[in-house]
Structure formats: C-alpha cells, structure tokens
Amino acid sequence: MTTHAVQFLRPAPIPAKSPLWSVAEVEALFRLPFADLLYRAQQVHRQHFDANAIQLSTLLSIKTGGCSEDCGYCPQAARYDTGVENQALLELDEVLEAARAAKAAGASRFCMGAAWRGPKQRDLEPVLDMVRAVKALGLEACATLGMLKEGQAEQLKEAGLDYYNHNLDTAPEFYGDIITTRAYQDRLDTLDRVRSADLHVCSGGIVGMGESLTQRAGLITQLANLDPYPESVPINLLVQVEGTPLANTEALDPLDFVRTIAVARITMPQARVRLSAGRQQMSDAVQALCFLAGANSLFYGEQLLTTGNPEVERDRALLDKLGMYPLA
C-alpha cells in the first residue's frame, strides 16, 4: 500500500454561514434515482477532495464497559448483559503502545474512546497526558469521552487534541426511542463547547436502528445545519450486539446505507465523511459504492471499541484494488 502525502490532510476551513437545509430537501436527495444521487455526490466530492485519497483513523477503547447510560445500541451500557468485560482507564504506556502500532500500520489519526457519561476532572487529567503523548508521535489526536462540562474542551485543546467526537446519533424525533438518560440538547451543548474551544468537531450518527427514511434525513439535516458543519462525519451502520435492545433490528438495505453517505457528502461538501462501524459484514462492492458516494475516511484496525472491524490486510487489499491511498 503506497502512502502519498497529499494536500488534503488538514480540513479546509468550513464557511461559517451556509444556507440551512430543510428535512424535506434532504429527504428529496435520499429519494433521487440511485445513479443521479451518486453522480451528484461524486461531483461535489471531486470539487473538494482527491477522490482516491482516504484518511485512516484507529480507535482504542481507553475505558471499557460499565457505563451508566442507556443507549439502546451500546454493548458498554452496564444495564445490558452483553458479555463486554469492564476495564478501568488504561495506563499511559498501554495507550502509547497502541498508538505507535496504529502509526506503523498507516493510520494518521488515533481516537481514544471512553465509556463514560462524561469525564470527571480526575478522569480527564490522565487523558490529557494521553493526548500529549499521542501528539508527540506525530499523529492527529481525537477523543470521545461523552458530554463535556464547561472548561473541559479547553483543557483538551490545550493538551493538543485535534478532534472531539460526539455523535448526534439519530434524528431528534427518533432519539427518545434510543436513549433516555441524556437529551438531544445535551449533545448539541457539548458540540457547542467543542466548537467554542476551537477543536475540530467530529459528529455523525448511526443508521439501521429502525429509523424511517425521513428520520435518516432528519439526522443528516441536523448535522448539516450545525454552524459550521462538522469537519468529520462518521456514518455508522448499527453493529447489532446480543443483549442490547437493538439486537435483531431489521437490517438496513446496504444501498440505503450508501445513499446516507452520498447525502452526507452533498450536504457537507468539505467534511471528511467516514464509513465507520458496520464494515465487518460489508462486501467490498458495497464499500466501493460508499467511496463513490463520497466516503473518504475509515476506521482502520482490527477492533472498533468492543466489536470487530476488518483485518488490516483486508483493508489494504481493498484500497490497493481500488487504487486508493491513505493520507500520510
């Protein structure tokens, strides 16, 4: 797999005020004939990006399981019996070892995830050391720690964090069916804090949770109307985990997943749209369609947080087959 240093590593500043999207407009995009939708997405994609370059992020769960929240998709919620073993916050050297391995395998960004409702101050301090250490390796650093309180985003920024991931997860109208322990507005407030601290925003959602097409459009509308929209937009396909309330949800048609990527690309032209969770069972052909639809980022490495992801060799072979190369 060849690595090319290309000019798109840093996100271009996103225009502060872009026109708002209505749910009806976004839904109309979802309903376009498939070929027309992909053609529009390709046009937008090629205006802003090298269409053959892909950004690779590697995830590490730095604190696993035992979470107080009730997110219906999540294997780490204490209240569901999913077989996930709880693991206290990792030591700095364990995180560094994983980050070094991620860099050696070709990732450009290292994302640390914690199963917290949000970090307490005593939790945040060791994470700040992790951020400093990851940055010292020359990697971009991302963290996803839950809701942030006043001042915490600034501390992360000060430590050198590049991105904070906090997903809206779904449309406001469907949200209450999935999570009751925190409100949609709490999520928006955390994203405001991240933005105000001058961190790059990584925010996306999950599809395949039984939402309607209008609700899928509602999620993308919310993300696209953030002002400015996120620099990084992970689109996750629900990983169904036995023991969670969403296990056994009717599977989403893969082409509807591809449509979601295309609509994210059209409505957020300069964002890195990440083909995120749910790739393990996805064929190469569906993933190739996602790239055609404008996905230009992947979670890379054999593990997401607690569930599997394609083997590194499979991903390298796929990218090679498609003539795609990772950002340095």
Catalytic residue IDs: 67, 71, 74, 111, 142, 202, 274
Q: Which stretch binds ligand SAM (CB under 6 A): 14-22, 95-103, 111-119, 152-160?
A: 111-119
SS3 label, residue 57: strand
C-alpha to C-alpha distance for 59 and 318, rounded to whole angstroms: 20
Map tokens 């797999």 to a residue: 1
C-alpha to C-alpha distance for 266 and 262, rounded to whole angstroms: 6
Q: Does 249 bind ligand DTB (CB under 6 A)?
A: no
Give the nearest distance from C-beta 239 to ligand SAM in angstroms: 4
Say which entry of ligand SAM, ligand DTB, ligand SF4, none residue 306 contacts (CB below 5 to 8 A, set by partner kind): ligand DTB
| Sequence-distant (≥ 6) Cβ neighbours of residue 245 within 8 angstroms | 72, 80
Binding track, positions 132-171, relative to ligand SAM; x by CB under 6 A: ------------x-x-------------------xx-x--
Helix residue ranges per DSSP H, the chain:
23-30, 34-48, 92-105, 121-136, 152-159, 172-178, 184-196, 213-224, 254-267, 284-292, 312-322
Give the nearest distance from C-beta 5 to ligand DTB in angstroms: 26
Map tokens 């950002």 to a residue: 327
Q: Does 267 bind ligand DTB (CB under 6 A)?
A: no
Q: Does 58 bind ligand DTB (CB under 6 A)?
A: no
- 41 to 100, contacts with ligand SF4 by CB under 6 A? 67, 69, 71, 74, 76-77
Residue type at 228?
P
| Residue of 181, 177, 167 lying closest to 222 (CA atoms) | 167
Indicate left, alpha or beta for 278 from its phi (over 0: left) and psi (-120 to 50: alpha). Answer: left
Give the nearest distance from C-beta 2 to ligand SAM in angstroms: 31
Q: Does 269 bind ligand SF4 (CB under 6 A)?
A: no
**Inter-residue contact 77 to 244 (CB < 8 Å):** yes
Q: How many residues bind ligand SF4 (CB under 6 A)?
A: 9
**Inter-residue contact 296 to 326 (CB < 8 Å):** no
Q: Which stretch binds ligand DTB (CB under 6 A): 39-47, 190-198, 212-220, 299-307?
A: 299-307
The alpha carbon torsion through 51, 251, 113, 84 (nearest 10 deg) reads -150
Say which entry of ligand DTB, ligand SF4, ligand SAM, none residue 77 contacts (CB below 5 to 8 A, set by partner kind): ligand SF4
- How many angstroms separate the Cα of 80 from the Cα of each of 175, 178, 216, 243, 306? 19, 14, 26, 6, 14
Q: Does 238 bind ligand SAM (CB under 6 A)?
A: yes
- HEC-encoded secondary structure of 221-276: HHHHCCCCCCCEEEEEECCCCCCCCCCCCCCCCHHHHHHHHHHHHHHCCCCEEEEC
With CB under 6 A as the contact rule, the residue among 199, 305, 319, 324 that binds ligand SAM is 305
Q: Does 118 bind ligand DTB (CB under 6 A)?
A: no
Q: Which stretch binds ligand DTB (CB under 6 A): 38-46, 155-163, 222-230, 302-310?
A: 302-310
Q: Does 115 bind ligand SAM (CB under 6 A)?
A: yes
With CB under 6 A as the contact rule, the residue among 114, 304, 312, 327 that binds ligand DTB is 304
Give the nearest distance from C-beta 62 to ligand DTB in angstroms: 11
Classify residue 18 by burial, with Cβ atoms within 10 Å: 0-12, 13-18, 19+: middle
Residues that bind ligand SF4 (CB under 6 A): 67, 69, 71, 74, 76-77, 115, 117, 146
Residues that bind ligand SAM (CB under 6 A): 73-74, 113, 115-116, 144, 146, 166-167, 169, 206, 236, 238-239, 241, 277, 305
Residues that bind ligand DTB (CB under 6 A): 59, 75, 113, 144, 165, 167, 204, 234, 236, 239, 276-277, 304-307
